[in-house]
Amino acid sequence: MFTSLNFKATLVSVLLLLVFLGVWQVATAPLQKVSTSPAVSAERAEYLKMLGKDPETQKETGFPTPVQMGQTAWKHLSNPVYDNGPNDKGILIQLGYSLGRVGLGFLLACLVAIPLGFVIGMSPLLRRALDPFIQVLKPISPLAWMPLALYTIKDSSASGIFVIFICSVWPMLINTAFGVASVKREWLNVASTLEVKPLRRAFLVILPAAAPTILTGMRISMGIAWLVIVAAEMLVGGTGIGYFVWNEWNNLSLTNVIFAILVIGIVGMLLDLSFAQLQKKVTYVE
C-alpha cells in the first residue's frame, strides 16, 4: 500500500515537471525567435574582458528556454571545481564556501541553543523570564543584523557566520526548551524513585524523550541558515552561492541566475531530507 502510494506520488511529480517544462518551452520559444541580441556597450565589453569572459557569449535574448538551461547546467556541472580568479569559480567551490559558513554558524548555534534550551526547559522560572527576550530577538531579519555585525566584527566572512548563528539559534532554543518541558512526568517520577542523578537523568531520560523535538528545531534552523547565507553573501560579496547569484545578475546572465536558484533549492532539499532521516531514527513509535 505504502509502496504503491510512493510510486503514484513519484509519477504525479514527474508528470507535473514535464507539464511545467512544456509550458516553459512554449512560453519562451517565441521570445527567442523575435528578440534580437542587443549590442554590448564598449564599457561593458571592457568589463567582461577584465573578468576573462567573451562579450559575445554574454548576450542573451529574452527569458531562457529549458534547452538553454540544460546547456548552462551541463557547462557548470561538467567542470564544477575550476578557479579562474575571484569572480570566476566553479559551482562546487562556491557551494563549498557557502556550506562551510552555514556549517560553522549552525554548529555554534547548536552549542549555545541545546544546552541553554535544556536549562530553560527544566526551569519554569527561567522560561518565563527569558521568553520576552527570545520573542523580541527571534523575528529580527538577518539583513538587519548584517550592518551591526560588519561594524563590530569588521570581517565579511565572520560577519556572515555570525548572522547565520544569530538567526538559526532561536528555533533550536525554543524547540529544545519545549521538548524538555514536555517530557512525561511519569518518566521523571520513575527516575526520581530510582534515585537517578540529575546528569544521568538528563542524558538517559530527558534527552531521548526530547530528541525528536530538538531535531525538529535543528531542521528548522538549518533551513533558516541556508536562507540566510544567500542573502548574507549577496551583501558581503567575495565567494559563495549567494555572491554567485548577485555577480551573474550584474553580468546580465539570467541562465546562470536561474541555474544557481535551482542549485540552492536542491541543496536545501537535501539538507532538509538529511535532518528528516535523523528525526525518524530518534522518534519512538508506540
In a domain, 284, yes or no: no
Residue 223 falls inside a structural domain: yes
Give the domain extent around 232: 96-238
HEC assignment per residue over the chain: CHHHHHHHHHHHHHHHHHHHHHHHHHHHHHHHHHCCCCCCCHHHHHHHHHCCCCHHHHCCCCCCCHHHHHHHHHHHHHCCCCECCCCCECHHHHHHHHHHHHHHHHHHHHHHHHHHHHHHHHCHHHHHHHHHHHHHHCCCCHHHHHHHHHHHHCCHHHHHHHHHHHHHHHHHHHHHHHHHHCCCHHHHHHHHHCCCCHHHHHHHHHHHHHHHHHHHHHHHHHHHHHHHHHHHHHHHCCCCHHHHHHHHHHCCCHHHHHHHHHHHHHHHHHHHHHHHHHHHHHCCCC
Q: What confidence score (pLDDT) does residue 148 get?
A: 87
Domain membership of residue 192 (yes or no) is yes
Residue 234 belongs to a domain: yes
The enclosing domain of 177 has a CATH number of 1.10.3720.10
In a domain, 175, yes or no: yes
- Using pLDDT thresholds of 50, 70 and 90, give the confidence band for residue 111: very high
Which residue did the predictor score with more confidence, 51 or 193?
A: 193
Q: Is residue 263 part of a domain?
A: no
Q: Structure pTM?
A: 0.81
pLDDT band at 36; cut points 50, 70, 90: very low
Residue 45 lies in a domain: no
Confidence tier at 55 by pLDDT (50, 70, 90): low
What's the average model confidence in pLDDT over 100-113?
94
The answer on pLDDT for 284 being more than 60 is: yes
Answer yes or no: is 281 within a domain: no
Per-residue confidence band for 181, with pLDDT thresholds at 50, 70 and 90: confident
What mean pLDDT is predicted for residues 102-106? 93
pLDDT at 49: 59
Which range among 59-73, 132-146, 152-166, 233-247 shows the weakest confidence by mean pLDDT? 59-73
pLDDT at 160 over 60: yes
What pLDDT is recorded for position 39?
52
Q: How many domains does the chain have?
A: 1
Residue 179 pLDDT greater than 60, yes or no: yes
Mean pLDDT for 177-185 is: 85
